[in-house]
A and B are shown apart, each in its own frame.
Chain A
Amino acid sequence: MASVETVKVEPSADLENEEEVKFVWGRKRGIGGKRKEVQFYESFTYDDVEYALYDCVYMHKEGQLPYIGKIIKIWENPDKSRKIKVHWFFRPSEILYHLKGVEVAAENEIFLASGEGTGLANVNPLEAIAGKCNVVCTSEDNRNPQPSEEEVKLADFVFYRAFDVGKCSILDKMDDKVGGLDVKYVFNRKESQKASHVLKHASDQNGDKNTVEYQATTKESFGLKALNDLGTSKASHLDGKIDVDAQSSLVRQDALQRETNVSRVNKETTKKANSAPGEQNSDDVSRVPKAAGKLSHIVGKSDVNVQTSPVRQDRLHRDANDSGVKQQSTMKGNPAPVQIVNSTATTVVQNTISEENARCKIKNEKDDKKVNKPPINLVEAGETGKSPKDLGVLEDRPSKRIKVNGSVTLSEDKGVNSVEKSTVCRNGKKVLGTSAVPSEERKKSVDSKLSGGLDKNMKIRKDSAALDSRPSKKANIDARKVQEDRDKSNMLGKCADNLGKLPKLSTGTSPKEVERTEGKSFEVTRRPVAESSKWFKAPPWEEVMQTANEQGALILLENLNPEYTSGEVEDIIWHACRENCTTKMVQRTAFSSPYSGRALVAFKTREGAERVTKKLADGCLMVSSQRPLVASFVSLPKTEGNASSLAGHLCVDKLRLQLQREMREAVSTSHCSQPNTIEYEMANEWRLLQARSDSWWNRLYKQQKEDLTKIASGLKRK
């Protein structure tokens, strides 16, 4: 029989108003204690959440991430204090040392405590509960009801291993009793007790809205996790513009924020009827799935059925803002809060690609129908304080060149301020005269991509104009296209020469040569090595490269399979063009494309280089059927004379001389930084930047890969 008592709990200091926290005992279990004064229970309802024996809960820990535990005993003492005994789970971070060499299966894996000793279980006051936690056991033990994929995905945490607190070791198998706890309470309990049906709010994962999941279960999971992510496209939601038809969704904030009250507040603001587990509870679990573009939005608005005092909400909001503000100050006005506590690269996702997009947006006002990414990105653009003239090449992602079907965008430079970069996009089919272009609907601003930013604009336009007037033969068009491309890819502005030469070469010769070798596929084997080179060792690559560079016989090949070796590339060139060369695959670095490899190819003569380039440009050499090779002349950027120090390596100006002397003499000047120094904080800023750049690159390459795969799908022969 349930005894119903409503007890007034003393409000903690943090709550401004005196609040009653609702508490109701559930089913009684038995009496215990020396004098039969202790009453055990099976369940209770605290703050409108029902907790039962063997449920998993968060236990509030000051200033830290909450502990996770399983309730194994509930009772009330004669002095009316309520206690629970909690059997602990360990987060990997708590037992890192003992996890050395052990693979942690999932990001949210935890370990059940087992064995004997401190850390197995504790008695705690019931009020220390910070919320319910959804822990799913994924052990393949046949005593464990296997969870569905959905359940695993939706779980707050998973576990299948135990940690012996006495021996400090990881156990894979569960015995009949784990740390005194009967194994059947370790595994997932039968479904009859759980009514977990999940309603997913339909939303665009990649887009602007967040994915809010409502879990209406008797075990409601609060998941006030500390997962702050930098979002951008969703930065706008800071204003609470979420179109979610329920409520104030509290985003994961870090533990600084957490108080038991907070969870209580949450509950109260949204609950309609706590006794209807089957309904869609306007639960404020807003779990932004990690896969989607992350964000931490702080929304203080709740649209539906707000029964509770707005005061609380505001407070929540304010708190949220506070923590946000606090953290913001370190982030240069980034609109979204940053979590510094657990910044791993996976959780910090900075969307700076959108910055560029935004900037491009600013640039291309007259531009197209395709909205690049939501305009919210302007927020980001503003943040970095770059003037619109710092324009990106990353214009209008969706306005991919490929989509320009049948429209040539050869308009003149329409006074877009300081356009250093623009791209020519042409489709081989049509060629319109320069002046006729304005009639095109999809008019983009000029797009001839220039990397050097010289007056190439003039040159290109002139060329284009000149070229335009020729009869539009397909091969020629391609050749022209290629020329322009080739020009653009010249990094140091040596294009003047090329411009002069190439138009001549392109006419006439290309169609024939291409036809001769086209159509057949051939396997690339080791090329026959010329006799002479067997006699003496080849000079080191650097020399070869430099010589070729000076002669203008250095080519950059792109879109190779990054796994190829230099030798293989040489073979390819040999078989395809019957030219000898020396190649070096560009080594992969932290920010080189994982899909497209590049190689520097040095020829002995400039003519050889030109021949190959032309061939590859006019025709299409498909390597392994999905990769047309792209070749372009390149000249190496001039390297600095002295190695100067790296940006970010600072020294105090006044001490500079002294330091430099020391540096020169010291052989080893490296160390790990300690947390209480300025350099530590600064170092963390750098790591943040590093993590951000990583994420930029990842996004860029992901996007690029998608672009390519999309086009490649148009290939008939795969």
Chain B
Amino acid sequence: MAITSSSAIDMVEYCGEDELHVLAVDDSLIDRKLMETLLKKSAIKVTTAENGQRALEYLGLGGCENHDPALTSSGVKVNLIITDYSMPGMTGYELLKKIKESSTVKEIPVVIVSSENIPTRINQCLEEGAQEFILKPLQQSDVKNLRCQMMKINKSCSGRLYLGR
């Protein structure tokens, strides 16, 4: 079977970008450590942030939004953002909104985690575009599930998950 030039490029991209990468946002050190370990156990690379502001900075949204994309290119790929809902300063919901409003990173799926099972809160987040709402504490089964979802999304819109900073 002949390999066309376009599928050869796809193969190279896929092999090179095999590792999934999650940005985990939570003000609790214990929960950050937990999420990190859970994700690493599923062979997922993790970057943690202790609040929404730091998360936005990592995503290149911290400062002036009118940066020239040609000037920045960290090449970092983020497959998923997991954020706690209740955080001082900026809530997970507010972070979600900022991400969805940004032209650069709105394609990155966002999962909200919360210790509280409040239907209005859940609906609010889902309506704002959250991929999923998961009750804390996060379980290994949740991570396996997320991993599957990330793999699927990765295949369909890989290019749009890169951060240009």
Is A bound to B? no
Which residues of A come within 8 Å of B, CB atoms?
none
Which residues of B come within 8 Å of A, CB atoms?
none
